[in-house]
Each structure stands twice: as structure tokens, then as C-alpha cells.
Amino acid sequence: MDFTYCEFPCTVSLDTFKAYFNPNDVKLPKISGKSLLSSQPGLADAAGSNNNECQTNQVKSLRHLVLDAIVENWSEVPLYEQLPRHEDRNYILSQLDVELPLELLSAHISDDYFWERSFQQRWRSATMQLRGRERPWINIYMERHLQEFIENMQTGDYEPEGNVQTTLDICAAYINQLEINQLQPAPPGSDTNDHIPLDYLLANLPDLQRLRLSYCTKTAGCNYQLGCNQLSSRDIALLAKGLSQCHELRSFCIHNTKLAPYQLRLFAHCLDKGCHHLNALSLMHCAIGDAGIRSFMENCTKESFATLTMLDLTNNRITEEGAYILSRTLQHVPLQHLVLRLNPIQSDGAAAIFNTLQVMPIKVLDLGSCSITESITKLFMLLMCQHKTLLEIDLSNNCLGEDFGKHLLKVLGLNKILEHLDLRNTGMSMDMRHKFKTFLLKNVERKKHEALKKMQREKFMAMMQL
Amino acid sequence: MEDEEDFELDSNAVDEGSDGGEEEEQIELEAEALDSWSSFHERIDALLENEHCEKPVRKLDERRKNTLERVREQFRTAPKSIADRARSQKNQIEQQLELSSTRLGELMRFGDELVTNIRVANERRELDRLAFESSQQTKMAVNLHRESMQTMAKFSNIKSRWTELNEINEPMALWEQIEDQKKRIGEIMESKDEMIAACQREIDRMNAKYEYDCERQAADLSCLVERVDHQVETLKDAYKQHLQMLRHTIEDERQLFAITSVEKWRSFFDALNTNFEEKTDFLKTRERFYAAQTHLITESQEELTKSTRIRLEKECERLELELRRTRDNVLMNSEKLDYNYQVLQKRNDENVIINNQQKRRVARLHEAVVRMRHKLVSINQTGKQTIKRLSTDIYKLHASINDMESKAHATRLANKEKFDRMWEMNYTELMVLVNRVFEIDRILHEQQLAIPWQKVEVDTTDINPMPPRRHNNIMEQFRRRAGKPSKNRPIVKVKAHEPDVKELPIETVRLMHNLMRKLADRGGFLIEERLIKILEPYSEEDQCLVRIDNIFAALRIRRLRDVEQLTRIFMPFTYCPNCQPAGLSPQKCAEVFMHDRKHSRYLKLADVEHHEHYAEPDSMISIADGRKCDKHYLVMEPALILHALNKFTKEMHKRLYLTPVDPHVHEINYIQVTDETIRTFWRKFSACFPQSKRRLWKILEHGLNHYVDVLKLRQEYDAEVERLRLQNVELGHLLQKYLV
């Protein structure tokens, strides 16, 4: 097959193409970035020479000349929608310069293929997309663009009416998730530690659903000064203001940033009032402490965080007191995923959490490295016997001992739901852990079998109905 | 530290894998189950082999055998275990898939654990570090605290010394003291330096620890990366291998399927071939058999056909003849039918035409009917109108007839009067003339003839006697002119005789007594209801009286004569209870009724004529009844009272409103004398004098006329003489004059 003359439609996926044609037999137009073979270096080398020869020996058609002219003058005369034929459009998409001004490109082109090409050319790496959950490449591109824009902005460069507004004009419509891994610290010599204000930015992203934020710095170098990894009072006020206008926010994560109790109170207030669809809340490595937990929970009522299903409080210096406060407040939250890793809550705190789990539809519980001792044995056995929704429990790095394992071996047969139980570094032998694993594997297989049976039954019912 | 955590997060995103390779034994539960079944059977068989037993035992053993046999049968026929069935149902590909998924799942889990082990170890270290750091920190804090307490104590000591120093004036002592203070301060400084050094050491330690941690982290990271890479590779390999295996199994399956299907097809084909051969053989034999059969049949058939052919030829000839005949017939018939058909067609055409005509006629008739209906309606309307008009005309004519009648009546009256007057005038004139004739005759006789005059007898009686002169009553005249009867006439009649109760006949009185009572009892409907209520408190006698009075008032019985009339009418309905104990006979009743009926009809037919006769039958009956019983009281059936009353009221009504017609009828014929009588009457006078006398008168007239003429002439001559004398006188005068 010879595809040299007709522009190979970029809407056809590689797999589809491979299913129908053998790549060795077909001649493809050797266009920059458009070749199928670029993804397979070995084949590209083998077939490249042939294709190149073909190209050099042939005179370009008039159509191609015209299209080339269009591409060259595209910055002055952006023609894309006006072209009626899809072949021409494909050609333009494959030939257009990705270095052109972003506002021009974003205004005229929304094709997935072009933006994928732009992304690959700009960052030299393509992120993998989960199969079945593909997102438009323009969104990914714009998110990465905005992320770099924010991460690299010096505090002095911030102009809400100028550069920020222009960037927002280009990007805002495409931003669904934003991941900010660092912020530039204030320049040395200034009085305060203020970072760039995020209120205007956040308030102008109407479709923002996932926000991952860190106020730490990674490239401070000689400019390091005390507190440049922390939020100042102005920062937290502006962040809270911005967050309270992110009405579509589903998932919020702030990590590696020290948070004082008063800041947590502001967080609680703005997240409760502004984000009505909040599903997941992560405050990792934030050194919140019991006081922070208390001040956070003080601002919560029974109705607040009614949609929250995931709470991650990894490494926050929470002790048994904080765990107790947490357990008391979480009774009204339909949590499915709770992480309390690296918090020394000890057995008492774990007991309080277990007590609360009885009224929660929880599925995943992470209590790794929580300084739990074997005094929790009885309560944990009770939990194993009674709880009907737990799928995963992580108890690694707790001093539980052999007796705990023996007791658990007796009880584990009663639980038919649990799938994973992490007991590494808990003072149990490998054999015992292996036994647990086989038990849990049986659970998994039974569930799989039941699901299969159910599917078959449904199929059968559907057939009967037919 | 925090970087480590980040790293962990990254590690989650990377594909996970494991060394794999090692394959665990898969425990096959199903196989175990089968093993157990086979062992069970063996055991049973072993049990069965023990045959050296006694009879009852053997019996028992047989029974047991049987049951065992049954059980075994059941086991054989029973469905296999669920797992067995599932396996038999699944094909190889599915099995391979399942196997691959379990193997790969194990690999994945193993790799996952391997990779996360690093994280766990890291966390462990972090936990330890945290514990250690916190203990170290507390230790340091305690040390610092203690040291600061000590130094503070020393410092306060030094401070207190300074005040003592103030009091010392001796320079040496002061110097010594100051030296001491210096020493002490030096101590404090030393301890502080020590503390600082310890802190420095601590910091150094922490730095070293940090460095170490960093190194270890780097090592961890590299280890992690290595492991991850390794896992990825192994997993990739494993997946590839399994994919290959799967492909192989699919291929195997396909080939197996192909082989089996080819086998199947071949077996089918062979079976088909053999089947076909068998079938052909069978068909051949059958064919042969059928051929023989057909041969036989054809032979017999030929015989049969020969004989039948001869028979049929004969038949054929006969039939031909018949056919010819029938053909002629048919021809005839067909011609006839043709003719008939044509005739019928024509008739049909005619019929059609006629039909159309009829239809048209019907339509026309319909139109006519409609028109007639319209006409009828209009005529009806006009008729109604004319009827109305004519009725009004009739009313008018009736009115005019009445008018005319009244006029005629008036003219008749006027005529009568004129006639009477004329008659009277003529009659008086006649009488005068007759008298004069007589006078003249007498004179003639006496004077002329000198004969004694004898009067001739002439009938001069007046045939139209003058009615007696009436009172000049204007109302009367007016009424008479209007044709109405005068009111006071019957009253005058009634007043003529003054009746009394005692004058009434005895049976009437008796009957009346009875009647009164009955009337008073039964005639309640004639009395006002209020009266009955008012009468309640009074005695029987009074009540009776008042009631009778009221009933009589209602019946308009005012006079004794009316009472008589009442009795007369009631008489036929009475009977004497003494003489006729059975009461009034039904025949009689019927008679009474019938008579009444007839009577009424008679009344209708001729009112006026009947009037003179109506009393006769009644009176006859009553007389008959009265004759029957004189000395007893007469009784009457109460049921008949109303009937009788009805009759009575009818009669009263008749008498009141029908009788007054009579006098009017009489007065119509005012002029009773006819023309003839008048003519004769007058002619009589033409010949009332005898012929002789008339001749005498004629002659006398003649003589007298002659005498008159003579006298006249004499008179003329007398007059001429006179005139001539007068002329003479005058002429004498004239002569004298002239003479004069």
C-alpha cells in the first residue's frame, strides 16, 4: 500500500493501522513527526531510506505546494477551519510549526494530534495516558504550560492585569487539573516570605477539578532563608480566597508545606464553603500536629465535607489525642479511604479510629508506621470479624508481635471481604504472612468467581428477556 | 527525608513486577476429590470380597450388596462435581487465560511487594530516626536545662558577690575577689562552651546522619530504580512469554479444532458414502422387484384392455349414434336457445328502456308528488285561510241574518201595521161608500122615483178584526221588535192560581216526607261544606230543615208547583215496601233507565213537538204506581235519587229555557187573512147590488146626465143673455157718449 500521496489521517490510531496493514509493506509519507515508524526506531531505520528515496525522487504536487505556502504564512493568515478537505487539514497539522504563538494556535486548532506533537516537541517526553481515561492533549499541554508558568514566576514579576491575564486567557478554558510542585521564594532582603498570590489564578480557572500544591522551594540555593518553605499569613489568606471560588474542585492536595493551626482553620473554612464537590483531601508531610487537627475540626459541622471519600494525613505528627479528635469528627463523613501513615497515634489512637470505622463505608485503611503495639490485638480481631467493607489494611512497621499473628490466623477465616493486609515489619514470621496471603488470595478469587457468576447470570437473564 | 516520600509517590506510578520464574504448585482440589472417590470404591470392593459367612449373614450381605450396587449406580449416573463440569465446559484458551492471569497476578504481587519493601524499610528507618531524634532532642533539652540551671545558680552567686565587693575598699582584697569572680565567670563560660561544643557535636552528628541518610536514600533510590527496572523487564518478559503461550494455545486449539472438525467431516463423509451405497443397493433391488411387478401387471392389463376395447367399441358405436342424435338435439336446442336468447336480449333491452322510462316517470311522479305536496300544503294553508275567512264571513252573515231577521221582524210588524191601517182606511171608505150608495139610492128612490126605498141586505162584516188596542208600552214594543218573549207572562200564569200544601194529593205528601229526608241525607254535595260544619251542634230536625232548604235553593225549587213536578219525576223510582218487599224489580229499574234514555233521545229529536206530550208517559207510570199502593208510604232506592234529581234538573232547565219560544212563533203570522179571502171580500162588494138596480141607476144616470146637459145649455144661454144685456148696456153707454 502506498500512502505517500494521501495524507494519512491522524485520527486513525496506531493499533488500528497495525491491525490492517503490515508496516513493512506500506509506504508512508515521511513527514516530520507524522511517521508511524518513529515510534519504532528499528523499523524506522530499515524503512527510512526507502521512504526518503521516494520523497527525493518525486516532484511535489501543486496541492502540497499550496499547503506549504499556507503553513509558511500561517502566523499572518491562520487557515484551518476554512479548508474543507480533511487531507489538507491533516497535512497542515503535521507540518505546522509548534513554536508559533500559543494564543494563535489555541484559538484555531484543537486537534488532538497537533497538541500531542507540540507536547512531545516541547518537553521531549510524552506522558502515558491511562487506557480508557484519555484526556484531550490540548488540556495536558495547557496544564503543563500553566504549571511551568506558575512554578517559574518570580514574586516580583507577578502582574495580575498583564502576563497572568494573558496566560489565563489562553489556558483557563482547558485547565482541569493543576500540579504545582514548587513556588519561587521571595527575593532575599524582602521583609516577608510571601509567594506569588494564587487567588486570582485559582478564581479564574472555572473547570479546575484537581489541585496539587506545594509551597516548598527546590532551587533556592544561596537565597535560602528561614521560612521560605512555609506559608505566610498573606499567602494563606489569598490561597483561601482563591480556593473558596474553585467550585468544581474535586481533589485537593497540599504537601511538604508547614501549616500552622490558624492556617488550617482557614483551609477548613474555605474548602467547606467553596468546594461542594470535594472528594479527596490530602495534607501530606505538613506537620499539622494535634493542635492543627483540632483547629481544622473546630470549623467543621456535621454537614461539612459530606462528599469527602478520601482523606490522606501522612506524616503530620498526629498523636493519640489528634486521632481521637479525628475519629470523633469523621463519624459524619462517608470516607472510603483513610491514610494516617507515619503518625505516632499508638494503640489508643488506633482504637479510637477503629471505633469510628464501624459507621463508615471505608474500603482502604492505612495505619503504617503508627507505633501501634500488640495491645490493639483484641480490637483489631473484632474489626476483622465485624467489618464488611474493608478491602485493604496496611499495618506495616508496627510492633504487633507473634501472638497478634496467631490470633489473626484464627479470625481471618471469618472475614470474606478483605483482600490485602500489609503486615511487613510487624514482628511476624514470613510463614505466617504467607498464610495470611493465601487466605486473602482465596477471598480475591472467590470474589472474582462470584463476579463472573453474576455476569453470566446477567447475561443469561438478558438472553431470557430477549 | 521529604524527598524520599516524593520518591515513593513516583514509585507508585511505575509499573510493578517481580522476579517471577518460580511457579508454585497448584493444588487441584478436583483431583483430590476424584482420588477419594476411587479409594472409596476400592474399599467397598474389598469389603465385598469377604464371602465366607453364614446364611443370614449372607442374606444381609446380599442386601448390602444391592444397596451398594444402587449407590454405585447413583454415583455413576450422578452429575460430576462442579469443578469438573466447569473445567469440561471451559476450553483450552480459557484455561490458559486463567493460568496466565494467576501466574501474572502472582508475579505482580511479588514485584509489588519487592518494590514496596523498600518503602517499608524506608519508613521503618524514618520511624526509628524519629524516635531516636526525639529521644536525643529530649536528652539535649534536659542537659541544656540542667546546665542553664547550674549556670544560673552560679551567675546569681556571682551577682550577689558583686554587692559584697562594693563594701571592700582594700584594693588587694578587691583584686583577689575580682580574680575569684573572674575565675567563677570563667567556669560559667567553660560550662557554656562545653554546652556549645556538645550542641555543635550534636549538630555535627545530625549533619553526618543527614549525609548518611542522603547517601542511603540515594542507595535506596538506586536500588528501587534497579528493582523497578528489573521488575519491568521481568514482567515484560513474563507477559511476552504468556502472550506467546496464549498464542500457542490458541494455535493448538485451532489446530485441534481443525483436526477434530476434519475428522468429524471425514467421518460424516464416510458415513454418507456407505449410506449412499447401501441406499443404492436397496434401491436397485427394489427397482428389480418393481419391474417384475409391472411386467405382470402390464400383461394382465393387456388382456383386460383387449376385452374392454371390444366392449368399449360397441359402446362407442352406440354412443356415436346417440351422440349424433344428441348433437342434432343439441343443435336444435342451441338454435332455439339462440333464438330465445336473442328474444330475451331484445326483451331485456326493451325492459331496460321501459325501466328507464319507468324511472323517469317515477322521478316525474316524485316531482309531481313533491309539487302536489307543496300544492297541498299551500292549498291547506289557503283552505285554512279561506275557512277562517269564510267562518268570519259566516259570523258576519249570521250577524247579518240576525240583523235581517230582526229587520224582517220589524218590517213584518210595520207591514202589519200598514196593512191594518190600510185595511181600516179602505174598510171605512167602503163603509162610507156603501152608506152613501145606500143614501143615494134612498134619495133616488124617494125623490126621483118616489118609491119607497127598501134597503138591500149587504154583508159587511170585517174579516180582519182589529186587535184590541194595547197599552202604549214602549218597552213592550221594543221587546217585541227584538223578538224576545216578555218576562212576566209565566209569572202571571203562576199567579193565576194560589196553591197550598193541603191541595196536594196525599201520595205526594207522603212521598215528599220520605224524599225530604233522603235528599237531606244524600244531597250533601249540593250544600256548602262550611254549612255542614256550622250545623254540627244543632238537633237532627233543625239540621234536616236547613239542609233541605239549602238543597231546594240549589235546585231552584221555589214554588209548590215545582214540588209537584219533583214528585212526578220521582214517582217512577218509588215502590211500596209493604206490597213489594223485594224492592224495585231490576226489570223495572232497567225500564226506568231505558225510558229515560229514550226520553232524552226523543227530546233531542224534537224539542218543541215533545213538549205537549212529555208528561204523558210519566203520568201513566206514576198513576200505575200510585194505583199499586195508596195507603202505604212509598220508599225509594237511595241509588236512584241522584238519577232522579238529575232528571229533574234537566226538566227544569228545559222548562226555563225552551218554553218561551212559543209565543214568539205565534206572533210571526200577523196577517191571518189570505189574499184570496181579501180578494173575495172585496169582490163581494162589486156584486153586492142587484142588476136591476144597477140598470136603473144607469138609466137614471143617463137621464140625469141628459137633464144636466140641458140645464147646462140653459145656464149657458142665461149667461149669454146676461152678457148680451150687459153688452147692450155698455153699448148704450157708448152710444150716449158719442151722442153726447
Check CB contact under 8 Å for A424 and B117.
Answer: yes
C-beta neighbour count of B671 within 10 angstroms: 14
Contacts of B117 in chain A (CB under 8 A): 424
pLDDT at B5 over 50: no
In angstroms, rounded to a whole number, what is the distance separating the alpha carbons of residues A6 and A22?
A: 18
In angstroms, rounded to a whole number, what is the distance separating the alpha carbons of residues B614 and B618?
A: 8
pLDDT at A111: 84
Contacts of B109 in chain A (CB under 8 A): 437
Contacts of B2 in chain A (CB under 8 A): 216, 256, 285
Chain A residue with the nearest C-alpha to that of B101: A445
Per-residue HEC secondary structure of B258-308 comes to HHHHHHHHHHHHHHHHHHHHHHHHHHHHHHHHHHHHHHHHHHHHHHHHHHH
Q: Who's near A123: CB < 8 A, 6+ residues apart?
A: A144
In angstroms, rounded to a whole number, what is the distance separating the alpha carbons of residues B564 and A180?
A: 148
Q: Residues of chain B with pLDDT > 90: what percent?
A: 21
In angstroms, rounded to a whole number, what is the distance separating the alpha carbons of residues B38 and B589?
A: 131
Closest CA to B233 of B19, B12, B14: B19
pLDDT at B579: 65
Helix (H) or strand (E) holding A310: strand A310-312
For the CA atoms of A438, A444, A450, A456, what is the dihedral angle to 10 degrees? -110
Phi, psi of A317 (to 5 degrees): 55, 40
User: Which of A370-379, B414-423, B432-441, B660-669: highest mean pLDDT?
Assistant: A370-379
Helix (H, G, I), strand (E, B) or coil at A262: helix
pLDDT at B25: 34
pLDDT at B136 over 50: yes
Who among A285, A369, A424 is closest to B127 (CB)? Answer: A369
Stronger pLDDT, B205 or B513, i.e. the higher one: B205
Burial class (CB in 10 A: 0-12, 13-18, 19+), A140: buried
CA diameter of chain B: 261
| Per-residue confidence band for B599, with pLDDT thresholds at 50, 70 and 90 | very low
Helix (H, G, I), strand (E, B) or coil at A109: coil
Strand partners, A40: none
Who among A256, A314, A397 is closest to B124 (CB)? Answer: A397
pLDDT at A192: 78
User: To the nearest whole angstrom, how far is the Cα of B224 from the nearest Cα of chain A?
Assistant: 17
Chain B residue with the nearest C-alpha to that of A370: B127
Chain B residue with the nearest C-alpha to that of A442: B102
Report pLDDT digits (tens) over A233-273: 888 999 999 999 888 999 999 998 888 999 999 988 898 88
Mean pLDDT by 10 residues, chain A (466 residues): 60 71 68 45 40 56 86 87 83 83 86 85 79 85 92 87 89 91 83 85 90 86 78 89 90 91 90 88 91 89 86 91 90 90 90 89 91 89 89 90 88 87 88 89 90 92 90
In angstroms, rounded to a whole number, what is the distance separating the alpha carbons of residues B403 and B105?
A: 142
Domains recognised in chain A with CATH numbers: 14-95 (no CATH), 148-465 (3.80.10.10)
| Per-residue confidence band for B613, with pLDDT thresholds at 50, 70 and 90 | very low
Check CB contact under 8 Å for A397 and B2.
Answer: no
User: Which of B262-266, B616-620, B630-634: highest mean pLDDT?
Assistant: B262-266
Quick check: A406 and A433 in contact, CB under 8 A?
A: no
Instruction: Find the chain A residues whose C-beta atoms sit closer than 8 A to any C-beta of B.
Output: 216, 256, 284-285, 314-315, 341-342, 344, 368-369, 371, 396-397, 422, 424-425, 437
Which contacts qualify for B339-348: CB closer than 8 Å, 24 or more apart?
none
User: To the nearest whole angstrom, how far is the Cα of B252 from the nearest Cα of chain A?
Assistant: 22
| Per-residue confidence band for B197, with pLDDT thresholds at 50, 70 and 90 | very high
Check CB contact under 8 Å for A369 and B5.
Answer: no
Taking residues B633-652, report their average pLDDT: 72
Helix (H) or strand (E) holding A280: strand A280-284
In angstroms, rounded to a whole number, what is the distance separating the alpha carbons of residues B701 and A371?
A: 206
pLDDT at A103: 86
Q: Cell triple for residue B614?
A: 212529555
Chain A residue with the nearest C-alpha to that of B126: A342
Taking residues B293-318, report their average pLDDT: 92
Helix (H, G, I), strand (E, B) or coil at B487: coil
pLDDT at A124: 84
Taking residues B243-267, report their average pLDDT: 89
Residues in chain B, how many? Answer: 740
Report pLDDT digits (tens) over B327-360: 899 899 889 989 999 999 998 999 999 999 989 9
Quick check: B557 and B566 in contact, CB under 8 A?
A: yes
Phi, psi of B572 (to 5 degrees): -60, -20
Q: Which residues of B176-196 are buried (b: 16+ CB within 10 A; e: fewer)?
A: ebeeebeeeeeebeeeeeebe
Q: Which residues of A30-58 are buried (b: 16+ CB within 10 A; e: fewer)?
A: beebbbbbeeeeeebeebeeebeeeeeee
Contacts of A437 in chain B (CB under 8 A): 109
> Does B294 contact chain A (CB < 8 Å)?
no
Helix (H, G, I), strand (E, B) or coil at A212: strand
Q: Cell triple for residue A451?
A: 463476579
Taking residues B300-314, report their average pLDDT: 92
Closest CA to B555 of B652, B455, B658: B652
Please tell me whether the overall predicted TM-score, pTM, comes out greater than 0.80 for this model: no
pLDDT at B54: 60
Would you tell me which residues 83-122 of chain B have a C-beta closer than 8 angstroms to some C-beta of chain A? 109, 113, 116-117, 120-121
| Per-residue confidence band for B514, with pLDDT thresholds at 50, 70 and 90 | low
Residues in chain A, how many? Answer: 466
Q: Percent helix, strand, coil in chain A (nearest 5)?
A: 50, 10, 45
B205: left (phi over 0), alpha (psi -120 to 50) or beta: alpha
In angstroms, rounded to a whole number, what is the distance separating the alpha carbons of residues A154 and A196?
A: 7
Taking residues B164-178, report their average pLDDT: 83
Q: Who's near B333: CB < 8 A, 6+ residues apart?
A: none
Helix (H) or strand (E) holding B608: helix B607-613
Residue A2: DSSP 8-state: B
Which residue has cell 516532484? A59
pLDDT at B226: 92
User: To the nearest whole angstrom, how far is the Cα of B293 from the nearest Cα of chain A?
Assistant: 58
> Does B25 contact chain A (CB < 8 Å)?
no
pLDDT at B611 over 50: no
pLDDT at B712 over 90: yes
Contacts of B5 in chain A (CB under 8 A): 256, 284-285, 314-315
Check CB contact under 8 Å for A285 and B121.
Answer: no
Stronger pLDDT, B502 or A25, i.e. the higher one: A25
Give the count of alpha carbons within 13 A of B324, CB side only.
5
In angstroms, rounded to a whole number, what is the distance separating the alpha carbons of residues B555 and B563?
A: 11
pLDDT at A427: 86
pLDDT at B635: 65
Strand partners, A309: none
| Per-residue confidence band for B173, with pLDDT thresholds at 50, 70 and 90 | confident
What is the predicted ipTM?
0.81
Check CB contact under 8 Å for B120 and A425.
Answer: yes
Tell me how far the alpha carbon of residue A153 is from its chain's centroid: 23
Contacts of A341 in chain B (CB under 8 A): 123
Q: Cell triple for residue B289?
A: 422387484
Check CB contact under 8 Å for A368 and B6.
Answer: no
pLDDT at B738 over 60: yes
Quick check: A110 and A116 in contact, CB under 8 A?
A: no
Q: Residues of chain B with pLDDT > 70: what percent?
A: 68
Report pLDDT digits (tens) over B462-500: 776 665 554 455 555 555 555 544 444 433 333 334 444
Q: Cell triple for residue A297?
A: 475540626
Taking residues B144-157, report their average pLDDT: 90
Report pLDDT digits (tens) over A454-465: 999 999 999 998
Taking residues B701-705, report their average pLDDT: 89
In angstroms, rounded to a whole number, what is the distance separating the alpha carbons of residues B507 and B632?
A: 9
pLDDT at B524: 62
pLDDT at B720: 93
pLDDT at A40: 41
Taking residues B104-115, report their average pLDDT: 89
Stronger pLDDT, B540 or A50, i.e. the higher one: B540
Q: Which of B6, B24, B108 should be substituted to probe chain A, the one whose Cβ sees the most A Cβ atoms within 10 Å?
A: B6
Q: Cell triple for residue A412?
A: 481471618
Helix (H, G, I), strand (E, B) or coil at B477: helix
pLDDT at B27 over 60: no
In angstroms, rounded to a whole number, what is the distance separating the alpha carbons of residues B474 and B494?
A: 25
C-beta neighbour count of A278 within 10 angstroms: 22
